[in-house]
Structure 1
Amino acid sequence: MSEPPSTAGAAAADALGRADLGAAEELARAALAERDALSARLTLAQALAWQGRGHEADAVLAEVDPAALAETDLIAWALPRAANQFWMLDEPERATAFLRSTRARLRSATTIDALLSTFAMNAGSPQRALELAETVLAAPDADHRAIGWAASAAALSSARMGRFAPVDRLAAQAIAAGNPGLLRFTSAFGQTTALVLDGDLDGAEKLAHALVSDAHPARAIGQLLVADVLLARGCVDEAVPLLRESAKALAVTGYSWGPLAWMLLAQALGQQGLAVDAAKALSRAESRHGLKSMLFAPELALARAWTCAARRDNVAAVAAAREAARAATRGGQSAVALRALHDAVRLGDTRATDGVLALDIDCMFARLTLDHARALKDGDEIALASVAKNYSRCGYSRAI
């Protein structure tokens, strides 16, 4: 930044890094009252945006004249403005175009590419996101902002693509970058995804629980991650109240987590057999889903599958689960396709075996799902009983 932050400005930035958004907003306003410093203005805008107050954040950022900014400050201003446009204002195309036009004015585009990586991931292109992120992380001029965005996007993209080995390392890079606080949930989702499929459900649940705090929206997103692990365990009754709270809290924000919360809630309610409630949650998920949450298109299809199952329409349920697996496969999300095929088998799909084999993922969950699919295809009751015991022994207590 061209000017060092004041004491209040530094405290505001620290609060933002901890995702204590209320404190960050209050301290940033105090800093701006002392001096109209760009650093305090950016902290205030991010604190407002992350609380779901996108129009207020946009107004704060609109008071800056980009033509008067040096390149470093231009990047610092462009990133939160684009992020706010993408998520909170629900204008992903405008945000991407804005970032690309800004990129053309810069000598170094590393930090811009880091955010474009996150945009690509959320728009349903994890392979493109990973390519951008790897370029950023290999760049000698990548600053902490670039590393934070790129490493967190790479962690989640890698996990959903079924590449589990680098996830913890990437998450550690994102955490070490320390910017910004809410990116911790993106990298953590990559970690819990990998842990769940590798069979370490206790580790996944512990990690997710550690992210649940009293601050909004950290509490809601943390609970969503806990609930996702609980659904993998088969603990639907425990997941539902967490998802209800998360979906309600996130509904007033523009986060991609919001549609995902409704998707998972619809799945859980469908598994409970609550057809009407599942349909309501599904409707809310569909109305909030768009380009910024396209990464979670397979979860939306699974929400439809379990809603159909709750209506006892098994043919439509299996068809929707197959579509979830196809959508995940088209997007390169092999790990998500595996979870979709597992649900398809649970719903009675006797043709899932080839799909599981085609994914070529070697993990605990893949082996269990393959055994399950083969036993169902063969109509082998003894084998199904054995599969159920193996699921339970590995922590997926009610996953059949």
Structure 2
Amino acid sequence: MGRSAEIGAVRAGVSARDTAGVVVCGPAGVGKSRLVRDALQGSEYRWIVGTTSARDIPLGAFTAWTRSADDDRLRLVHSVIEAVTAAPPGRKVIVAVDDAHLLDDLSVFVLHQIVQWGAAKVVLTVRDGSDGTGIPESVRELWKDKDNRVFARLDLQPLARQESADLLAAALNGPVDPDAAGRLWTLTRGNVLYLRNIVEQELADGRLQQRAGCWQWVGEPVLPNSLVELIESRFGDLPPAVGAVVDVLAVGEPIELAALQRITDRESVEEANIRGLITVDPSDSGVQARVAHPLYGEIRRMRAPSTTLRRLRGLVATELAAGPDRDEMRVVVRRASLSLDSDLPPDTDLLVHAARGAIWLADLQLAGRLAEVAIAGGAGADAHFLHAHALSWSFRGAEAESALAELAAGPWDDLDRARFVYLRATNLLWALSRPDEAKALVDAVSVGPAGRAWIDAFLVIYWFATDRPAAALEAAKAINLPDLPGVVGAETAFALTAVTAEVGRTSDALKTAATGYAAAVRGHDAPHMRFNIADAELGALLLAGRLTDVEPLADRVLTQSAELPGAAHALGAAIAGRAALGTGRLRDACRLLDQAATAFAAQHSTGWGYRYNVVRATALAMHGHVADAAAILDEIDALARPFRSLSCERSIARAWVAAGQGVVSEAVGILAVAAKTAAANGQFAAEVMCLQLATQFGTPEHADRLAELAGLTEGPRSGLAARFAAALRDGDAQELAAVSEDFEAMGDLAAAMDAAAHAAICHRSRGRRGSALNCSVRAEALAEHTGVITPALEQAAEPLPLTERECEVVALIAAGLLNKEIAERLQLSARTVEGHVYRAMHKTGTSSREELAELWRRRKRRPQ
């Protein structure tokens, strides 16, 4: 899994006429043996293993093929070669040697003879650095270019992060939380042997467990004894001073080389480097030292006495405090986190400063711990605020509320009171899903001018969250967004970006988003809010039809998410997935949104999980996975989230599901209701999206309203949607084809496909078969590129001689519904449904409901 290119390289090497074989080089545990076995599956091969125990025994590796006790070594060698290369008629043998660097000299000689005679292709695995160190010269001579006996060489690297995640998902037979997959990769650095051992242990101990269909990893790893012994055997007998070098790095890496030499000594650092226990590499600030593999540090920490580790952490923290960058935020966080479990006395000022820095770095767990220790040491209100903030953003809302409730009595100055109320109210709103209590708390507070901006800002957020955009815009008149502090400015900007985007004021939305990003950077308390703002900015671009700006935004967010821990990776994937959906790249959208959903499944079901599952359901329905999409929407409905209902987006998702089920009239009805609601709320850009999709589904009746909306909203989408609806209403096939081209230029490939499909249908209805074919081929090409499946595409490609209502009835028969159920779904009488079934059977030449259903299923496209 994840090694297809390397497997192909081995197979190519043994198949090529001009090679003697393949040598696979790499460090221990990267999967050389498994790779070669997989590559040779289906071949006639012999498996020979070099071992330390047999290294001093002549022909020790070939014992199974040594059939005589002949004292003549040359005859013995010949008999071994004949035995090991013997094959059934018409078959060629491949001799595979695992750990060839451990072979005895006579076994190496046998391989030389096999290569020289061309008796068989040879595949070797060797534990090797890139320079070949650690391999006997006699073995290395095997693959030197001698007498044109060339070996293909493959230097096998540890698994990359994504390859490791793919292997985990395959081995565990289910999706793996990206954070868990990332932690396992960080711990093992892609070493397959280490990964397998740790996963087996974590499964056995119950720390790696499946929750809501997703594998989660909780707690800290416990390394298997066998793995510990294997790694310690590679350490060898370490002098205490050399071991101390590794121990110092184990508690505080990376450390500047000069600082490490001051903490320990120069000679021991050099010896640790020579032994391959540490690495020394240049960095922007000088030369940094690290342990050579994360597990080396894990094992040394596990073996060392706690008093030793406390002393070493104190030494590293003291060294960092003496450095020129002692006050740089990342260094402050390192100093404080080291001091937590050291022999140094607690420094509450340092801990509070570091808690703020840990929030800035999005390490909310560390921030909470630093603030908690600071509180225990007598720190003031700031520590309490930071502690509650970290808990709330970690979706531990009940704990945050308890911590804040203890502070309710004050004493407060005006600003601290406002900060307290804002923090408690946002926790009630978002983390605890209790918006009414949040509003009551804010309404009851009395603050002076110094704290009023915090309260006014919360009101903007509250009205946005409770789906009252007009009230949010009215409340925003009381604030000056650039003056708001940190997370308050960022969160308010998120709300206003989303609101103005849906209204259709794209320029205002993008300007507000820029202000929000500045607030997030300016403060140290809003790292994840950047992703919320990005989602709102993305919404503005999608609604307006400025789709050429979408991909750069998604790329930027993915880059930022890779730099932060925890939920950031999933948020980056979710936003990129939404961007892919908006530009019609369904395969990418489903992949990215599935990845995000896996991460959000356990802890964020009513927050980010809810928000991106709506988008995911839309993507799945558009891609043809209608049942999966419907199941997700049913789960969303069951959550009954009391804030930000996303009603327009949910309606669009429901409409795609209904259309995918063949009930296009129901889809159009859903969109009509959503458009009416959006219009009532002044959300004109959202209304455009609903009416454009209704047009894609074949409803031309919204042309006039879309023309009005083109004057109320910014961006190219509304005008283009209006042209689409007018052309569909007028039966103007040429204009529909032109609209398709313009939608493609704008970047909405799904709409471009549907416009082309409707052009084909229009041409065909007027007998212009050549033009119809051209438009149909264009629609097919866009469908192939995007992975989108729509009613218009199916109608253009494979028209059935049925009316729209008959198509809906047949689709529901294919879905397994009885006539009574179909009548309830379509709001018809049972007798009317029976009539539609009879006429459909007559028109298609089918003789039963079963044949009719099978005909429908055959014509339905399947997702790629």
TM-score higher than 0.5: yes
The question of 1:91 aligning with 2:434 is answered: yes
Correspondences of 1:33-72 after superposition (within 5 Å): 33-72=376-415
* Aligned positions, number: 394
Moved more, 122-131 or 313-322: 122-131
Letter in 1 for 2:497: A
SS at structure 2 position matched to 1:35: coil
Say if 1:269 and 1:254 are closer, same or farther in 2 by CA, change over 3 A. closer
Taking a change above 3 Å as real, the CA distance of residues 323 and 41 of structure 1, as seen in their structure-2 partners, is same
1:168 partner amino acid: L
* Alignment pair present for 1:339 and 2:671: no
Q: Which residue does 1:376 correspond to in 2?
A: 728
Residue 453 of structure 2 aligns with which residue? 110
Out of 384, 397, 400, which is 2:749 matched to?
397
Write the letter of the residue equivalent to 2:375: L
User: For structure 1, which segment, 159-168 or 82-91, has the greater mean C-alpha deviation from structure 2 after superposition?
Assistant: 159-168
Q: 1:132 aligns with which of 471, 475, 493?
A: 475
Given the alignment of the two structures, is residue 262 of structure 1 paired with residue 613 of structure 2, yes or no? yes
Match of 1:159 in 2: 501
The alignment status of 1:148 with 2:490, answered yes or no, reads yes
Letter in 2 for 1:269: L
Displacement of 1:105? 4.8
Shift of 1:200: 3.6
1:235-250 alignment runs, 5 A limit:
235-250=585-600
2:716 aligned with 1:364? yes
| 1:150-299 aligned within 5 A | 150-178=492-520, 179=523, 180-212=526-558, 213-214=561-562, 215-251=565-601, 252-253=603-604, 256-294=607-645, 296-299=646-649
Q: Say if 2:510 and 2:540, in contact at 8 Å, map to a contact too.
A: no
Determine the C-alpha separation between the residues in 2 that align with 1:88 and 1:265. 22
Partner deviation per Cα, 1:106-151 (whole Å, 9 max, x = no partner): 45422111011111111111222122223211798x5455433433
Superposed displacement of residue 155, structure 1: 2.1
CA deviation map 1:278-301 (0-9, x unaligned): 11111122123433113x111111
State how far apart, in whole Å, the 1-side matches of 2:490 and 2:466 are: 19
| Residue 731 of structure 2 is aligned to residue 388 of structure 1 | no
For residues 86 and 254 of structure 1, do their structure 2 counterparts lie closer, same or farther at Cα, with a shift above 3 Å needed?
farther
Partner of 1:300: 650
| CA distance, structure 1, for counterparts of residue 734 and residue 506 of structure 2 | 33
Q: CA–CA distance in 1 between the matches of 2:671 and 2:400?
A: 39
Please tell me whether the aligned partners of residues 364 and 393 of structure 2 are also in contact (alpha carbons under 8 angstroms).
yes
Question: Aligned equivalents of 1:181 and 1:216: distance in 2?
Answer: 11
Whether the 8 Å contact between 1:159 and 1:193 is mirrored in structure 2 is yes
User: 2:418 aligns to what?
Assistant: 75
Shift of 1:60: 2.0
> Structure 1: which amino acid aligns with 2:492?
A
CA distance in 1: counterparts of 2:536 and 2:489, whole angstroms: 16
Compute the displacement of 1:18 (Å). 4.2
Cα distance change on mapping 1:138 and 1:280 into 2, 3 Å = closer
The code of the aligned residue for 1:257 comes to: W
State the partner residue of 2:676. Answer: 326
CA distance in 2, matches of 1:110, 1:331: 26
- Which amino acid is the alignment partner of residue 147 of structure 1? G
- Could you say what secondary structure the match of 1:398 adopts? helix
Q: Structure 1 residues 275, 198: CA separation in 2 closer, same or farther (over 3 Å shift)?
A: closer
Residues 88, 254 of structure 1: 8 Å contact kept: no
Residue 5 of structure 1 and its aligned partner are, at CA, apart by 7.4
Residues 43 and 255 (structure 1), Cα distance of their counterparts in 2 relative to 1, 3 Å cut? farther
Kindly state the Cα deviation for residue 329 of structure 1 after the two structures are TM-superposed.
1.8
Structure 1 residue 98 displacement after superposition: 1.0
Helix, strand or coil at the partner of 2:506 = coil
Deviation at 1:87, TM superposition (A): 1.2
Output the amino acid matched with 1:285.
I
Q: Higher mean Cα deviation, 334-343 or 284-293?
A: 284-293
The CA deviation at 1:197 is: 4.2
Give 1:311's aligned amino acid: Q
Per mean C-alpha deviation after superposition, the further-off stretch among 258-267 and 373-382 is 373-382
How far has the Cα of 1:53 moved from its partner? 1.5
| Alignment CA distance shift 1:276-1:81 (3 Å) | same
TM-superposed CA distance for 1:305, in Å, is 0.8
What is the distance in 2 between the residues matched to 1:308 and 1:78? 44
Which of structure 1's runs of 4+ aligned residues deviate more than 4 A? 105-108, 142-146
In 2, distance between residues paired with 1:37 and 1:245?
41
Give 3-state SS (helix, strand or coil) of 1:136's partner.
coil
Please name the residue that 2:786 is paired with.
none
The answer as to whether partners of 1:220 and 1:245 remain within 8 angstroms in 2 is yes
CA distance 1:177–1:370, change in 2 (3 Å): same
Change (3 A) 1:375 1:15: farther
Identify if the C-alpha distance between structure 1 residues 19 and 351 changes in structure 2 by more than 3 Å, giving closer, same or farther: farther
Once the two structures are superposed, residues 306-348 of structure 1 have per-residue CA deviations (whole angstroms, 9 ceiling, x without a partner) of: 1111211111111112222222222222112212222212222
Identity of aligned residues (%): 29
Range 59-68 or range 274-283, more displaced = 59-68
- For residues 192-250 of structure 1, the C-alpha deviation after alignment (integer angstroms, 9 at most, x for no partner) is 23333444424222223322314333333333322222222111221112222333433
- CA 1:329–1:174 in structure 2 vs 1: closer, same or farther (change >3 Å)? same
- Comparing 253-262 with 150-159, greater Cα deviation is found at 253-262
Structure showing the higher strand proportion among its residues: 2
Does the residue aligned with 2:407 lie in a helix, a strand or coil? coil
Residue segments in structure 2 that go unaligned for 5+ positions in a row: 1-346, 755-864
2:355 alignment counterpart: 12
Task: Tell me how far apart the structure 2 counterparts of residues 223 and 341 of structure 1 sit (CA, whole Å).
Answer: 29
**Which of 466, 471, 494 is equivalent to 1:123?**
466
Q: By percentage of residues, which structure has more helix?
A: 1
**Is the CA contact (8 Å cut-off) linking 1:130 and 1:154 kept in structure 2?**
yes
Bigger mean CA deviation after superposition, 248-257 or 88-97: 248-257
CA RMSD, Structure 1 to Structure 2 (Å) = 2.5
Q: Greater shift after overlay, 179-188 or 119-128?
A: 179-188
Q: Tell me: CA distance 1:341–1:228, structure 2 relative to 1, closer, same or farther (3 Å).
A: farther
Evaluate the alpha carbon distance shift between residue 357 and residue 256 of structure 1 in structure 2; reply closer, same or farther with a 3 A threshold.
farther
Assess if the C-alpha contact under 8 Å between 2:490 and 2:516 holds in 1.
yes
Cα pair 2:545 2:746 within 8 Å, conserved: yes
Q: Which amino acid aligns with 1:211?
A: V
